[in-house]
Structure 1
């Protein structure tokens, strides 16, 4: 099998020239029984030489023979047809003008026959190569692919064409009855989820790869349970939003994460609306080193802002986000700002230097038990820090201000909830002056954020347990960080002044079920201990207060409520009357 690019490309050109010659002989024999005049024989030979020269010349010029297409791909077939058409038109034009003795049947039949031969040779090469790479190596895992759709087909092609793939696909699982008799490149659909255990035994499968990037978390969890109960390893392709350009690669295959089960939902965003208000603008993100702030920065950067200013009081976090966005972490550029939002004077210097047009305010203290112990700290950051940002944004003409809030602001029972509720009300106050579009976005827990429940559970499982859960019936809303940030940016496009946009968090999930699934996946014998609800902690979170009237927006995953504005002069009446304990 030829793998050197130069030799392979020359071989393709030689094959096409050979097919054209064979086609010429076939057509002369089949159409004219080789009975043509000497003058016509001369024209036929000249026609072949001219056509071969055109084929190689145009093929090289159009990069057909310089590796433009993958051999025997659909794209190459289209390119081949275009090349053949061009050679036919040019050669016919030449002979019409300079030599009318060429039989017309030769000019029009030879390209058709040659095209079949050229394409057939390529397909035969592809079949040989596929079978060569499809042979089992001792280090390969035998794999069932769950999902015989486009992603599964792409994955199969990659495995077959890769010389060092660690997988060998022996069958597909698909729940669609219409695919019961389907074969993809010779690999059959062996059945649906119900036959997983039998298929594992019959085909000696060691692993199942879920190739449905748009699958819901509930579906992923159900398949994971079925696969692991059958004694097989379970791998997956990531959600469709994480697959670059919609194209699958072998590097995308990974172990299933708990976030896939809890928060895997496809988020639809209006990219045009987002680009309209972000592209070419100066954007400031506070708390840019945090989980939400850093993902916001990464997503906003993709829309091409004129300047992206990232502010945080944690220098290590700023280093990490700069590295993730720009591939370097020198911390020597003015777009990285080390500053505390409590410091109004320092903030003013930042606004004066950068003159931001859009602000995403993600900086906050968020850990409920800690703020219950130190409520004054929550007041200084979540309330006064937000007020500093709002007043300076109004003073410097910020056109759009998005305050990141939390579901704990709905009917608050904790310091965190009270301070974030006040931040929403201050944002509504700032929106009254009509200096710009000032709004809040409220959502629940995000999976994988720093200090989140998943991190705590993982640490407890790694250390041998026990895993601590406050109450067996406690529930929470969950969303992945990318999902939340996509909707936050979208909310900034559709929200009105003073509104609180509330993200659809799906169905609340029992924390106990999450703990059990993580322990089961770890294959360890870990005890679960119930510690009791902490001060200010709710049994079930709410996204809306009882007195809030929910209304819809133009986005199905975003709702809207109004909160009463609070003037800064009235903050004394709302001040938390608790000091450090």
Structure 2
């Protein structure tokens, strides 16, 4: 039965539409003549009818009025019907003037015919949809005891979409009780029959009054600060809450209930979507042989994923760890079967290995993300930090220069600014060497400097998660410690963007937004786990670790800043010693590291980076204490 209907669906719709159009013209005559049509006008109606039907059918067909499903009719469909009606009315009027000179065809009839035709055609579709939705709601009805009462925060477009989704999917067992919105104009209005009850500050009382079980935050454009404010109100009410993803995730513009998810730290930190200049990045990556060091790490692996989007001629994965290399190679090979991927196990500190790789693979673009990054570990192992972060960068940069690499992009850190630890100091030396080599090389050497990335291997967030799962306590180094954060995809996109802009010698700084208190981060993570800070999970302060400082910086005092066309990227005007001097001092530093002369390493670091001031963290350490 259903297949037969689908086969003859178009003919049925055309026939039914002819009946509607005939009825609209007849009703127009009846209304015009008070339901008593004179004989001569009745004859004129019969003469006019074929032309009217032909014009309306042709116009409706041309504008696609017959292609939509009535059960899914929406505002764009109604607008299309209105366009078809207006055009048909104008053509019928022109026909009446030219052919009949409006003789015995009142213009009122033509106008009324257009109005009735639109009402009939649009009305039938809307009635069909209403009946279907009512039947579906009745068929999918959930038992009252299983229904969750819902508030939607945000009465904008996303809120409208959520309301419609909940109405169309009663099997979800969610009843929308009301909207919460801070816009005073929307207060005491209704949206799809649902009232806007008031602002967020009254959320607690409204939840209690309306016995709400769950809150959906439907403001995709909300900043992290705005979202934190809303969540604070939700926390006060002790009500469950979820969020619709931000605009950066809603790429296709569609909003569905399935996209509603738990709040995560990316939402709270509120990183705005990157203005990614795809064409400029594509211009230096497409068709190029690209090498990524540290390809299995958090940043390195994401660089690999992003680079593959731009169809390079070949991607060389340079990684010291066997398992991380295997994982990223398998992932990329599955997704990009037509792009050659060369997995290479090797150490950036091995000159012979580096030179062989460059000689065999002939990379044109190099992203250098391999480094030791854990501050306390490098304080305990300064020689290894020098060998990897300094000597490894020197060998890679020299090989890039010798083998004619077009562009070398180095990933650095905010800890290289006024460093108080070995890790940051070694990265600053690497920055200086890359810059100085740029002055004498055809290769364009570019440095990117940014802060912490959310969820990177061994970072604070995975550590907090494990501590929360274990029942606490969550350990924070100091009550006032702050850090800059960005997401891994955001950091990687900015690295690629900076690489596309770099002409050589620049140190690019990324806009990291506002610094975040680690204590605040810990509190929010506990709340996101459904627990209460200091009640369910304690936060304990353990003192700054070796090499750590309270606040990170992105800029030295003597570094000026130049803007770039990208609003989230600027250039630090960094001063670099002469290349020959750097080569000599780095050689001595590396030699001291190889023979494990730790005093010599300390002197070398201070000589190369005079602003390096090792912290005496025993003075900064406080006795382990707990939040009062």
Question: What TM-score comes out, normalization by structure 2 length?
Answer: 0.80
The answer to whether residue 345 in structure 2 is matched with residue 339 in structure 1 is yes
Contact 2:410/2:447 (8 A) holds in 1: yes
Shift of 1:147: 1.4
> Residue 188 of structure 1: CA displacement?
2.1
The equivalent residue for 2:47 is 43
1:98-497 aligned within 5 A: 110-128=113-131, 137-138=142-143, 139-162=146-169, 164-321=171-328, 327-328=334-335, 334-340=340-346, 341-352=348-359, 354-497=361-504
Q: 2:561·2:570 contact (CA, 8 Å) conserved in 1?
A: yes
Task: Give the superposition deviation at 1:501.
Answer: 1.1
Deviation by residue 1:424-467 (Cα, 9 ceiling, x = unmatched): 11220232135243211111111111111010011011112222
CA distance in 2, matches of 1:550, 1:477: 19
1:575 counterpart residue number? 590
Q: For residues 423 and 189 of structure 1, what CA distance do their matches in structure 2 show?
A: 57
User: Is 1:18 paired with 2:19?
Assistant: yes
CA distance in 2, matches of 1:512, 1:200: 29
Match of 2:541 in 1: 530
**Range that drifts further, 376-385 or 185-194:** 376-385
> TM-score, normalization: structure 1?
0.86
CA 1:577–1:150: 2 relative to 1, 3 Å: farther
Name which of structure 1's ranges 465-474 and 546-555 shifts more when overlaid on structure 2.
546-555
User: Does the 8 A contact of 2:448 with 2:507 survive in 1?
Assistant: yes
**C-alpha distance in 1, partners of 2:287/2:47?**
63
Kept in 2: contact 1:215–1:265 (CA 8 A): no
1:117 positional shift: 1.9
CA distance in 1, matches of 2:406, 2:331: 28
Q: Are the aligned partners of 2:70 and 2:128 in contact in 1 as well (CA < 8 Å)?
A: no
After superposition, the CA RMSD in angstroms is: 3.8
Q: What is the CA-CA distance between 1:115 and the residue it aligns to?
A: 2.0
Structure 2: state its 5+ residue gaps: 599-628
Q: Which has the larger radius of gyration?
A: 2
The residue matched to 1:209 in structure 2 has which SS? strand
Asked if 1:564 corresponds to 2:576, the answer is yes
Q: 2: distance between equivalents of 1:390 and 1:68?
A: 62
SS at match of 1:379: helix
Contact 1:280 1:304 (C-alpha < 8 Å) held by counterparts: yes
Question: Does the CA-based 8 Å contact 2:400-2:443 persist in structure 1?
Answer: no
Larger CA deviation: 401-410 vs 264-273? 264-273
> Separation in 1 of the partners of 2:592 and 2:331?
41
The secondary structure found in structure 2 opposite 1:550 is: strand
Between the aligned partners of 2:567 and 2:40, the Cα distance in structure 1 is 73
Q: Secondary structure at the match of 2:252?
A: helix
1:189–1:439 Cα change, 3 Å: same
Contact 2:329/2:341, CA 8 A, preserved across alignment? no
Offset of residue 178 of structure 1: 2.3
Q: How does 1:48-59 map to 2 (within 5 A)?
A: 50=54, 54=58, 58=61
Offset at residue 232 of structure 1 (A) = 0.9
After superposition, the C-alpha distances for 1:371-393 in whole angstroms (9 at most, x for unaligned) are 22333333333222222332233
Gaps of 5+ in 1: none
Q: Is the 8 A contact 1:447 1:454 kept in 2?
A: yes
Q: Deviations over 1:488-519 (max 9, x none)?
A: 22322334421111112222222222223323
Structure 1 38/76 Cα, relative in aligned 2: closer, same or farther at 3 Å? Answer: closer
Q: May I ask how many residue pairs the two structures share in their alignment?
A: 576
Structure 2 distance, partners of 1:372, 1:571, is: 19
SS in 1 for 2:196: strand
- In 2, Cα distance between equivalents of 1:13 and 1:346: 74
CA-to-aligned-CA distance 1:204-226 (integer Å, 9 cap, x gap): 22111111222222222222121
Q: Distance in 1 between matches of 2:429 and 2:70?
A: 59
Aligned to 2:73: 72
Q: Using the TM superposition, give the Cα deviation of residue 154 of structure 1 relative to its aligned residue in structure 2, in angstroms.
A: 2.4
| Cα pair 1:445 1:477 within 8 Å, conserved | yes
Question: What is the CA distance between 1:99 and its match in structure 2?
Answer: 9.9
Asked if the contact 1:134–1:168 (Cα under 8 Å) also holds between the matched residues in 2, the reply is no
Question: Aligned partners of 1:7 and 1:161: how far apart in 2?
Answer: 27
